[in-house]
Amino acid sequence: MDNSLLVSLSQQIAAYRSIDVIANKKGPQALSFVKDAGVIRDLGQGELTSTGATLDFAINGKGFFAVQTPSGIRYTRDGHFTLDQNGQLVTADGYAVQGDGGAITITPDDGTVSVGADGTISSILNGASNQIAKLQVVEFRNERAMTKEGANLYATTQTPTTATTATIAQHMLEGSNVRPVIEISRMVEVMRAYQMTATMTNSQEQLMRQAINQLGSMPN
């Protein structure tokens, strides 16, 4: 195969990969905290949005919530929590959110629940404040080494440490760190580059075909 065709093919493969990466960023998930760009993850923080829900918590800064799954402890920045039938604080998938002492249980008798910037969950009952638990918010030395599982969970063999700079915001959720307008613009650019390469490949094939026809028509 002609070298120019090999170059064109390699460029088309690269462009196809770029389109696939960009499209993956704009998936249907309501929350997404990871932007896949080849082998590099963008772990930048997304915008915090007010929800008004008592059990919606957002991490401002570096850190992850710890949750108990059937496969062991996993980590997430998705703080959209609810209470299960036993009063345990759980994720949308039913995984128990971990506090410093394990699973967190909140009962109707606890009264009005609030969370402090340090992750301390308290309740106010009959005018008195009572500490229920403290959210386990952790960080890792190398966040990029974490393995993505599903839409919002991560696994790692690293030893977690308590997040020192992160703060918790109640009634808030973190949105995607993807900027759709910019990514759509990038997709258009990549598609144009792909089409230009395809046109060049087609022109090269036509030239080769003409050369072969001319050679075949030459007298012996």
| Cα–Cα separations (whole angstroms), residue 180 to 46, 51, 95, 108, 198 | 13, 21, 30, 41, 27
pLDDT category at 34 given cuts 50, 70, 90 is very low
Domain count, the chain: 1
Tell me if residue 163 falls in helix, strand or coil.
coil
In a domain, 88, yes or no: yes
Do the domain assignments include residue 18?
no
Kindly state whether residue 91 falls inside one of the protein's structural domains.
yes
**Partner residues linked to 148 by β-bridges:** 154
Domain containing 95 equals 27-177
- φ, ψ of residue 16 to 5 degrees: the values are -60, -40
In a domain, 12, yes or no: no
Say what percent of the chain tops pLDDT 70: 75
Rg of the Cα atoms in the chain = 26
Domain-embedded: residue 121: yes
Mean per-residue pLDDT for 74-82? Answer: 95
Mean pLDDT over the full length of the chain: 81
Predicted confidence (pLDDT) per residue in 93-122, tens digit: 999 999 999 999 998 888 888 999 999 999
User: Which residue type is seen at 203?
Assistant: S
Residue 214, domain member (yes or no)? no
Does residue 16 belong to any structural domain of this protein? Answer: no
Q: Mean pLDDT throughout 54-83?
A: 95
Give pTM, 2 decimals.
Answer: 0.65
> CB count, 10 Å around CB of 43?
14
pLDDT grade for 160, boundaries at 50, 70 and 90: very high
Question: From CA 133, how far away is CA 105, in angstroms rounded?
Answer: 8
Q: What is the pLDDT of residues 6-22, one digit of tens each?
A: 555 566 566 666 666 65
- Flag whether 217 is in a domain: no
Q: Which residues pair with 162 in a beta bridge?
A: 138
User: Regarding predicted confidence, which is higher, 88 or 23?
Assistant: 88
